[in-house]
Structure 1
Amino acid sequence: MRRPLLVALVAATTLTAGALPASGAAAQRLAAWAPSMTIGGPNFNDQTIRMVVHSSIAGTSPRITLSNLRSTTPLAVGAVDVAVQGSMATAVAGTHHTVTFARSKTPTIAAGAEAVSDPIPMTVGAGQNLLVSVFLPKATSSATWHSDAFDTTFLSRTGDHTRDDADGNYVAARTSWFYLSGLDVVPSTARSTVVAFGDSITDGYNTPTGAYQRWPDDLARRLAAAGTPRGVVDAGIGGNRVLTDVPNIWQGISALKRFQHDALTIAGVKTVILLEGINDLHAGVNTAGGPLTAQDLINGYQQLIAQAHKAGVRIIGGTIMPDNEPADREAMRQTVNDWVRTSGAFDGFVDFDHAMADPANPHSLNPPYNSGDGLHPNATGMQAMADAVNLTLIS
């Protein structure tokens, strides 16, 4: 959930880009869930989208964020409801709450803007699943979305089915989130939020759908078990790069461009864990369009460090994990990883490379951690990644 820096009320039912002063209540809130959003989603018309939100921490008075940030036309919202998930698209009876935005049940969100809801009078548990149902009464343009949710989203028949308990009117399923980009709460015990910022490894590629076995999910559970709960936000986007935009638009603009919004405006963020760079090595291109060097990637990291420190946020560097790279790319990976470990430029580092490498072949992923493609960890590997994080590094 982002601080409402990009949203201002300009009419009773229209939200647009702008600036709002932070209130005391907003400053006390922590993000519990906040996927990064990209351009290029599908169109909708007279349909309800029911999405699952898995809260990383416990709290009260949750708010949600709807994002039209990457879309080109205003988004007319007909109704929004939050309920406790029973199973799949079924809501627990009696848990529905109508959601308002500046007291409106039917906001219109301008292109390029986001809307933060009014507080919802309910309690959320750590690890609890909520169903957020959004009715879109009019034809939309290409949706602002998160393509690879590794969770199930349900699409309805024609009409407003936001208040349905049963799932009979939900007739299709997808594995993406649409327009929904945040949940924040007044925390019960957590003190801050951690942003895990990265690419498909952080996004959870090849992890089981709806199992919440990405390494940021595992990290949230580790922090809670240690008696130091923190909100943990997964800001991974599959295919994302540090230096350059990806031609597949749903894989996102570069980390250099999205870091301010996707990491530093997250409510309560005190620590960012950065794990990106493998896709830059694969692309082999720097910001000028020339051949990539290790120093190019290091320069990108230094820019992200500077952004974080300017915002008063700690940034922890993650070493790039092994991927059976060709000799030239492997040499760059080793150079970059040595810099992450020894330069002192980050506020600390997590040696994902060491934790995940095959002891018999350190250029490859350890077989027990391999999901099958040699790059993305399985659920056991994701837990090993979370276990590699020294919890004392987290503010």
Structure 2
Amino acid sequence: MHTWVAMPQSTEPDNLPPPPFTRDNLVFADTTLRQTVHLSVGARQLRLRFSNAFGGVALPITAVAVALPVGGQAGVSGIRAGTSRTVTFSGRRSVLVPVGAQAVSDSLDVEVAPRSNLTVSVYLAEGQASDRVTSHPGSRTTSYLLAGNHVAATDLPAATPTDHWYLLSGVEAWSGGGTAAAVMLGDSLTDGRGSTTNLNDRWPDRLLDRLQADPATSEVAILNQAAGGNRVLDDGLGPNALARLDRDVLAHSGVEWLVVFEGVNDIGTAEPTGAAQKRVTDDLIVAYEQIVTRSHAHGIRVYGATLPPFGGHPGYDDPAGCRQAARRRVNDWIRTGGRFDAVLDFDRATHDPRNPRRLLPAFDTGDHLHLNPAGYRALADAVPARLFRRKPLPPGFGFD
């Protein structure tokens, strides 16, 4: 079962590694990439997943190692001496990942605690001979690039920092029968735009903190499958939610819950006319129903989150209020439609009571759309922990 994931995306030109790590359609040539990830549940055995979902050519990984970061911190280049472990793939130290495929490592004996950070170092001798590479740009975590093979080095003092994840899409943990996973399907509000780099204070991180504090939910893994700009109906930054549901949710083992917190970008990018907004509202409702139906067939409970306001945002707020009206209609359906197994009222948790069209100023980053760390804490606090206590599915679940 996964203890950490990042939604694979096609890397935009501005998010490619800086020179000299990108040059003449060659990326990561003779380069060590060191990145840290924040695990949810603990384990004594791990394995890694590397994705070439959007690569232009095969991905030739030369060497990989995992270690514990200095001070247990995220976004640092140093590792604790004596903790580095070599990663293999079917007994080999290198692996070639075909275009569109992924590679899963052999299991590795590494003991990690819940909510701890793990360092993954990757070396590519030849590099990937294409500027089409797979990444997760919104890492909110600092990674490091350095020429040469330094996967086992205790520090990379001259490395180039970059706030993106590349190639790595998941960390799996061997776990007992008491563990289960909850997947968060979302956009930048779940990916954490406005959160603090290297502090892991997105709302799913804060929810993990709460669940870990309760023995009844301490074995729940939180898997953040969100990306900034993502939409439910149409491709944006990454495939649309309907298209990626199988890859990012249903294909993962141990998933018992899905939180759907997405749709604001569909409303915000549709034309601000009554007809266009009615169409996107109707289509979103059908899409949510499809997500519920497909997830229920896999025995997964689905929780729907209402959409927070965006009043004052220069791109999404329109003078006639057509988009705000669409958001209210979508939220009314989420609350009363009866299709979701539970409702997380993120609109109520974040709007300004004196002006419900806007975010509470204390939660607003200033763009009137994205939340700051206090706002993300408010989202996490609005989620009832009891929803993630394991219980049998009702008779007939999945055919309702």
Q: With structure 2 as the length reference, what TM-score do the two structures score?
A: 0.86
Q: Deviations over 1:59-87 (max 9, x none)?
A: 11011111111112111111000000005
Q: Distance in 2 between matches of 1:184 and 1:190?
A: 15
Alignment of 1:175-194 (within 5 A): 175-187=163-175, 191-194=179-182
**What's the counterpart of residue 19 of structure 1?**
none
1:368 paired with 2:332, answer no
CA displacement at 1:101 relative to structure 2? 1.1
How big is the shift at 1:323? 0.7
**1:307 equivalenced with 2:297 (yes/no):** no
What is the CA distance between 1:188 and its match in structure 2?
6.6
Q: Give the equivalent residue in structure 1 for 2:304.
A: 317
Cα pair 1:58 1:188 within 8 Å, conserved: no
Separation (CA, whole Å) in 2 of partners of 1:358 and 1:209: 26
Match status 1:152 vs 2:136 = no
> SS state of the match for residue 288, structure 2?
helix
CA deviations over 1:189-210 (Å, ceiling 9, x no partner): 9520111110000000011100
1:293 & 1:279 partners in 2: Cα distance?
11
Alignment-derived partner of residue 269 in structure 1: 255
- Is 1:239 the counterpart of 2:243? The answer is no
Partner residue, 1:128: 116
Aligned to 1:210: 198
Does the 8 Å CA contact 1:207/1:214 hold for their aligned counterparts? yes
Is the CA contact 2:266–2:280 (under 8 Å) kept in the aligned structure 1?
no
Separation in structure 2 between the aligned mates of residue 163 and residue 340 of structure 1, nearest angstrom: 49
Q: Which amino acid aligns with 1:33?
A: W
1:222 aligns to what? Answer: 210
Q: Does 1:68 align with 2:57?
A: no
What SS does structure 1 have at the residue aligned with 2:160? strand
Q: Is the 8 A contact 1:58 1:189 kept in 2?
A: no
* Cα-Cα RMSD: 1.7
Aligned partner of 1:26 in structure 2 is none
Corresponding residue of 2:29 = 45
Q: Answer yes or no: is 1:161 the counterpart of 2:150.
A: yes
CA contact (8 A) 1:59 1:188 kept: no
Write out per-residue CA displacement over residues 333-375 of structure 1, whole angstroms, 9 at most, x where no aligned residue.
Answer: 1111011011110111100001111111111111111122111
The unaligned stretches of length 5 or more in structure 2 are 17-26, 312-316, 391-400
Amino acid at match of 2:295: A
Q: Distance in 2 between matches of 1:224 and 1:132?
A: 24
Distance in 2, Cα, partners of 1:181 & 1:139: 18
Deviations for 1:7-33, whole angstroms, at most 9, x for unmatched residues? xxxxxxxxxxxxxxxxxxxxxxx2111
Q: Which residue of 1 aligns with 2:183?
A: 195
When normalised by structure 1's length, the TM-score is: 0.88
Matches of 1:365 and 1:72, distance apart in 2: 41
User: 1:217: Cα distance to partner?
Assistant: 0.4
Contact preservation (8 Å) 2:52, 2:97: yes
Residue identity (%):
36
Q: Indicate conservation of the 8 Å contact 1:235/1:262, yes or no.
A: yes
Distance 1:268 1:124 in 2: 19
What is the CA–CA distance in structure 1 between the aligned matches of 2:135 and 2:258, rounded to whole Å? Answer: 22
Match of 2:103 in 1: 115
Q: In structure 1, what is the Cα distance between the partners aligned to 2:298 and 2:43?
A: 25
* Alpha-carbon distance in structure 1 between the residues aligned to 2:369 and 2:269: 15
Deviations 1:201-236 (A, max 9, x none): 000001110000000001111101122121001111
CA contact (8 A) 1:340 1:349 kept: yes
Q: Distance in 2 between matches of 1:147 and 1:369?
A: 24
Conserved 8 A contact 1:190-1:231: no
Question: Aligned partners of 2:176 and 2:123: how far apart in 1?
Answer: 31
> Contact 1:61–1:119 at 8 Å: present in 2 too?
yes
Provide the aligned length of Structure 1 versus Structure 2: 358
The amino acid of 1:172's aligned partner reads: T
Matched, 1:173 2:161: yes
8 Å Cα contact 1:350-1:388 kept in structure 2: yes
Q: Kindly tell me: are residues 70 and 334 of structure 1, through their superposed partners in 2, closer, same or farther at Cα, counting changes over 3 Å?
A: same
